[in-house]
Amino acid sequence: MVNGLLVIGVSYVGFILAYHTYGRWLGQRIFRLGQKKTPAVQMADGHDFVPSKKWMVFGHHFTSIAGTGPIVGPAIGVIWGWLPALIWVVFGAIFMGAVHDFGALVLSLRNNGRSIGDIAGGLISRRVGMMIFFIVCLALWIVIAIFGLIIAIIFDLFPESVGPVWAEIPIAIAFGFFASRYPNRFLPLSIMAIFSMCVVVVLGHVFPLQLPSIMGLPPTGGWTILCLIYACIAAALPVNVLLQPRDYLNAWQLLVALGLLVLGALATGFTGQLPMVAPAIVGSPSGAPPMMPFLWITIACGAISGFHSLVASGTTSKQLRNESDAQMVGYGSMLLEGALAVMIIVACCAGIGMGYPLENGQWVTGELAWQTHYASWGASAGLASKIHAVVIGCANMMTTLGIPQHVGAVIIGVFIASFAGTTLDTSTRLQRTMLLEFFAMFRWYPSVGVATLLAALSGGMLAFSTGFSGKGALQLWPVFGVLNQLLACIGLGVLTHYLYKKKSRVVGVAAAPFIAMMGVTCWASALNQYQFFITQQWGLFGLNLLILGCFIGICYEIMVAVFELKEKKSRRLALLSDTLG
């Protein structure tokens, strides 16, 4: 069996080489990053446009794009085997996802911090802008509702994580306050804040907190409401008060957790105790859809995700102080997310083999442990099941460092819930921005507070549309994977148009991923449409049809705009030739 440590080592070396070669080439030769004034500097308002240290922006961007995506996606995608998942994550992140994220950030930096949909409307046509607006708002609506539920599920499964996650809020506010007033003490303040977060993790283990059912409202419903209230407040505050410092500290939280996992992998890998017990390739898992195109849809974050372009153009571009930092923030964050996804693949395909608990209290090991969890698509589906596999695998890897299995589970539970929280409040802020842009077209200019409240309330309405459990967003979850990758296609398509307009000689860096993603995503959407039809899920059938129609229209408009640019270029060359002749 292949050693899990070897998988981690080869993948991480590949990411490092890609950053210093392909990433640098994109920044210097394609995007020509320089010392131009960024929107954060030119339009600083102390609320959304706040020029900040690159490490603060990196922390915000990384934790916002990551969330639970590179955790949940790979945890279910390995049902087709660890090798296809690994190949898609490594090569997808380097040549598609990082290009997409980097490009979206640069586009926004060069267009006054505008969102990707707004930029598309200006570059291509207003029709495209309106269709993108619909797709983006729908995606954010689902994200706000579903991530509130994810946090609620984690709190219900791991009561020890509740206290540490909520304690991060005052710690982040205090850190942001002192860091802004004492910028020369940024490093010691960071160390103090990170140490405080480690202390509250220990306290959370000692003092677990559980939310009781209240008047028929189950714990998941109660936690979902509290999470949405938090998201509404966090999104309305100036970005440097809570969102930015919390995301920065959460990024360090990830690095600590990732460091523990790497050390655990080293401790077990060198002794041969970390074999990839999962099969390399599983052609037809029981009850699962076909590997292609659904591997590319299931594993989005970690390889390529359209949500990233919303973060890059919606919040990150408004905080970047120097344009030259865009490579580290845009390209580097995506590669770090790929590194996290690789670790999750190893945890679910090797770490889980160190021990997996059965319902009767017994533990199984080796390939049997993996087969028990991934017996079928239905057995490994569901948010709780996906999170369970990750927590067990990661906690097992930490036991080699002397960390008890149950303590490791708490550490990973806090880490997952914290990341979900960063995505939740960033998504609420993005939805508020989209609503303000939409209302401005009708000359209505509501306050930031009103728009934020509308974003949070709409997410809450979806979450509780099926009852008090807060699981209403699961109704639309079957279309979210395709919807998210459609956004990635759109981001790559807009970038292709931009590069062609700028007369770039290597427009293929965006055009090739755009064409590949467009084909695979349309394929998956068509298969979903057929499945919704035969199962008579008419609501999803209609919604998916509307999304697919908008996407085809957007791609058609993008390609027509590119061909028009090509014809104009040909006519100019012909005219120049006639003049010189």
- DSSP per-residue string spanning 208-229: ---PPPBTTB-HHHHHHHHHHH
- DSSP per-residue string spanning 248-307: HHHHHHHHHHHHHHHHHHHHHHTTT--B--S-S--SS-TTPPPHHHHHHHHS-TTT--TH
Q: Does 14 reside within a domain?
A: yes
d(CA 444, CA 34): 37
Q: Does 255 reside within a domain?
A: yes
Phi, psi of 38 (to 5 degrees): -90, 160
d(CA 40, CA 49): 5
d(CA 186, CA 246): 14
Full 3-state SS string of 25-89 = HHHHHHCCCCCCECHHHHCCCCCCCCCECHHHHHHHHHHHHHCCHHHHHHHHHHHHCHHHHHHHH
- Tell me if 561 sits within 8 A of 123, measured CB to CB: yes
d(CA 243, CA 230): 11
Q: Which residues contact 388 (CB under 8 A, 6 or more apart)?
A: 157, 373
d(CA 144, CA 462): 9
Identify residue 428 by its one-letter amino acid code: T
- Tens of pLDDT, residue by residue, the chain (581 residues): 799 999 999 999 999 999 999 999 999 999 999 888 899 999 999 889 999 989 999 999 999 998 778 888 999 899 999 999 999 999 999 999 999 999 999 999 999 998 888 888 888 888 888 888 889 999 999 999 988 888 888 888 888 889 999 999 999 999 999 998 998 999 999 999 999 998 998 888 888 888 888 888 899 899 999 999 999 999 999 999 999 999 999 888 888 888 899 999 998 878 778 899 999 999 888 888 999 999 999 999 899 999 999 999 999 999 999 999 999 999 999 999 999 999 999 999 999 999 888 877 788 999 999 988 888 787 666 666 677 788 889 999 998 888 888 888 888 888 888 888 888 989 999 999 888 877 887 788 888 889 999 999 999 999 999 888 888 888 888 899 999 999 999 999 999 988 988 876 788 999 999 999 999 999 999 999 999 999 999 999 999 999 999 888 888 888 888 777 767 766 665 555 555 55
Q: Does 311 reside within a domain?
A: yes
- Three-class SS state of 315: coil
Structural tokens at position 319: 């905080």
Q: What pLDDT score does 505 carry?
A: 73
Q: What pLDDT score does 328 carry?
A: 96
Q: Select from 34, 80, 12, 554 the least CA-distant residue to 262.
A: 12
Q: Does 394 reside within a domain?
A: yes
Structural tokens at position 219: 């714990």
**Angle 98-109/333-349 helices, nearest 10 degrees?**
150
- Tell me if 80 sits within 8 A of 291, measured CB to CB: yes
Q: What pLDDT score does 563 carry?
A: 79
- DSSP per-residue string spanning 425-449: HHHHHHHHHHHHHHHHHTT----HH
Cis preceding linkage at 293, omega within 30: yes
- Tell me if 136 sits within 8 A of 487, measured CB to CB: yes
Q: Does 486 reside within a domain?
A: no
Tokens 């207003």 — which residue?
Answer: 126
Burial of 443 (0-12, 13-18, 19+ CB in 10 A): exposed
d(CA 149, CA 17): 38
Q: Select from 277, 285, 419 the least CA-distant residue to 345.
A: 277
Domain that holds residue 436: 4-467
Phi, psi of 322 (to 5 degrees): -120, 135
Q: Select from 233, 226, 213, 210 the least CA-distant residue to 163.
A: 210
Distance, C-alpha 180 to centroid of its chain = 28
Phi, psi of 52 (to 5 degrees): -140, 165
Tokens 């998504």 — which residue?
Answer: 427
- Tell me if 313 sits within 8 A of 80, measured CB to CB: no
DSSP lists the bridge partners of residue 357 as 363
- DSSP per-residue string spanning 140-204: HHHHHHHHHHHHHHHHHH-GGGHHHHHHHHHHHHHHHHHHHH-GGGHHHHHHHHHHHHHHHHHHH
d(CA 417, CA 147): 9
- Tell me if 474 sits within 8 A of 538, measured CB to CB: no
Q: Does 534 reside within a domain?
A: no
Q: What pLDDT score does 215 carry?
A: 80
- Going by the DSSP 8-state scheme, the letter that residue 403 receives in this structure is -
Phi, psi of 152 (to 5 degrees): -60, -40
Q: Does 207 reside within a domain?
A: yes
Signed CA dihedral, 81, 154, 265, 191: sign only:
positive
- Tell me if 352 sits within 8 A of 370, measured CB to CB: yes
Q: Does 328 reside within a domain?
A: yes
Structural tokens at position 82: 């660890």
Q: Select from 159, 169, 154 the least CA-distant residue to 205.
A: 159
d(CA 145, CA 123): 32
Identify residue 358 by its one-letter amino acid code: L
- Tell me if 82 sits within 8 A of 341, measured CB to CB: no
Q: How many domains does the chain have?
A: 1
